[in-house]
Amino acid sequence: MAVYRAGVLDRAAVTDGDVLLDVGTGDGLIGFAALERVGPGGQVIFSDISAELLAECRRRADADGLLERCRFVQVGADDLRGVADRSVDVVTTRSVLIYVQRKQAAFAEFFRILRPGGRLSIFEPINRFTVMEEGDCLFGLDVAAVADLAAKLRRAYLSVGTEQDSMLNFDERDLLRWAQAAGFTALELDYRAEIEVAEPLPSTDWDVLKKTAPNPLAPTFEEALAQALTSQERDRFEEHVRAVLASGMPGRKTLATAYLRAIRP
């Protein structure tokens, strides 16, 4: 997470005295680090749709004696009401647009609240890439020997339809297009793609692993198995997965990510 945090903040070129808005701040991964960078003369606006997460940020800011340099605004990324036009120097956001249906509207809001010369810095996973490129892998595991069942499971994950699924309905080209359409200039996109790169799995115990999901909006692996496969097929699939896990074969990740920075002219 520290790598992503630095990746977003470095690209935002945050300086002393900046007013920075972190959109979809969560528990403040970016926001609290930004407070250090804007210094005593700067301010950070923590925004999120979740009242609980904002309350958590407020508690932490209070405990650390930082409250006077913080604001907390409960709004969606696509409707930043309460934040005035041309009032901030920097907008950051990390892994939030994947939850937003009206992404073009979000970019228009980022543009509206930035002052001329203000910087936008975004990080998003490009989940559509993972779905298209995962090949012989599923859940980070080699499923070549049960490819027929893996294909059914993949279809279950795609059953929402990629155009309706906010996690899957965009890629890096769309980020550029939306930023440009909103009026941003000096766009720079850093894209990183990895296919079947060895990475430890969250667990090597299938009974634990199957209760996890590839993203918070998706079904767990167990739910997808129940939805897509007959009980006989499920047994065959689970037997294969347990054997792969027992063999000690490392997990393999397939993913793409994009950092985008841009300037409001």
Ligand X SMILES: C[S@@+](CC[C@H](N)C(=O)[O-])C[C@H]1O[C@@H](n2cnc3c(N)ncnc32)[C@H](O)[C@@H]1O
Binding residues for ligand X, per CB under 6 A? 23-26, 29-30, 48-50, 53, 76-77, 94-96, 99-100
We find the least distance from the C-beta atom of residue 146 to ligand X, in angstroms, to be 31
Sign of CA dihedral 14, 17, 22, 28: positive
Sign of CA dihedral 125, 55, 33, 121: positive
We find the least distance from the C-beta atom of residue 12 to ligand X, in angstroms, to be 13
18: exposed, middle or buried (Cβ count in 10 Å: 0-12, 13-18, 19+): buried
Q: Residue 173 is inside which H or E element, if any?
A: helix 172-182
We find the least distance from the C-beta atom of residue 11 to ligand X, in angstroms, to be 14
Cα(114)–Cα(88) distance, integer angstroms: 5
Sign of CA dihedral 146, 149, 155, 156: negative
**Which among 1, 49, 59 is positioned nearest to 25, based on CA atoms?**
49
Q: Which is nearer to ligand X, 99 or 191 (CB)?
A: 99
Cα(62)–Cα(60) distance, integer angstroms: 5
Q: Which is nearer to ligand X, 55 or 144 (CB)?
A: 55
The amino acid that residue 58 corresponds to is R
Q: Which is nearer to ligand X, 49 or 132 (CB)?
A: 49
Cα(264)–Cα(13) distance, integer angstroms: 14
We find the least distance from the C-beta atom of residue 77 to ligand X, in angstroms, to be 4
Q: Which is nearer to ligand X, 25 or 257 (CB)?
A: 25
Strands (E) in 59-213, as ranges, are: 70-74, 88-94, 114-125, 137-138, 141-142, 185-198
The dihedral over CA atoms of 134, 217, 1, 249, expressed in degrees to the nearest 10, equals: -40
Q: Which is nearer to ligand X, 18 or 48 (CB)?
A: 48
Q: Which is nearer to ligand X, 34 or 77 (CB)?
A: 77
We find the least distance from the C-beta atom of residue 82 to ligand X, in angstroms, to be 13
259 within 8 A of 223, measured Cβ to Cβ = no
We find the least distance from the C-beta atom of residue 46 to ligand X, in angstroms, to be 10
Q: Which is nearer to ligand X, 49 or 176 (CB)?
A: 49
What is the total residue count of the chain?
265
Residue nearest to ligand X (CB): 26
We find the least distance from the C-beta atom of residue 121 to ligand X, in angstroms, to be 12
